[in-house]
Amino acid sequence: MGSTGNNKELLEMGEPNLRKQEQLTMQTERSLIELEERERDIRQLEGDIMDVNQIFKELGTMIHSQGEVVDSIESNVEYAAENIEAGTQELRQAANYKNKLRKKKVYLFLALIIVVSIILIIIFHR
């Protein structure tokens, strides 16, 4: 019975060590859980950052594309302004030609009246 007493004493002496070891194990498990949670949060943050990066890339592409559209619109507006200027010049020229033609018609009509008058005077004076 002496050996059972020794075993009992050894168990009682090892009990505080066992408790310490259990506490260390529990603390290690908690630390591991916290680390896993941090890792999960970091991975989530990494995914969010990648999403934001993709959004910025798409936004950059859209801005570039819209810049090209704006440039095209600007070019078309400039072209339209040039055409309007040319059209205005052509209208002025057409109005000038119309006035000259009207003057020529009046002069021709007056010349015709004079010629007809001279012919009538010659015919009636004979």
Give the pLDDT confidence of 29-40 residue by residue, as tens digits: 999 999 999 999
78 within some domain: yes
What's the number of CA atoms in the CB half-sphere (13 Å) around residue 107? 6
When divided into structural domains, the chain yields a total of 1
* Domain assignment of residue 24, given as a range: 7-95
Instruction: Please tell me whether the overall predicted TM-score, pTM, comes out greater than 0.75 for this model.
Output: no
Is position 106 within any domain?
A: no
What is the model's pLDDT at position 111?
A: 96
Residue 83 lies in a domain: yes
* pLDDT more than 90, % of the chain: 75
Residue range 11-21: mean pLDDT, rounded: 74
- Identify the three-state secondary structure at position 1: coil
- Compute the distance between CA of residue 84 and CA of residue 100 in angstroms, rounded to an integer: 24
In a domain, 30, yes or no: yes
Q: Indicate whether 5 pLDDT > 60.
A: no
* Coil, helix or strand at residue 126: coil
Structure letter (DSSP) for residue 51: H
Rounded to the nearest integer, the mean pLDDT of the chain is 90
Is residue 1 in some structural domain? no
* For range 60-82, the mean pLDDT: 93
Residue 2 lies in a domain: no
pLDDT at 38: 96
Residue 125 counted as domain residue: no
Question: Among residues 76, 68, 44, which one has the least CA distance to residue 60?
Answer: 68
Instruction: Give me the pLDDT at residue 16, please.
Output: 76
- Within a domain: 15: yes
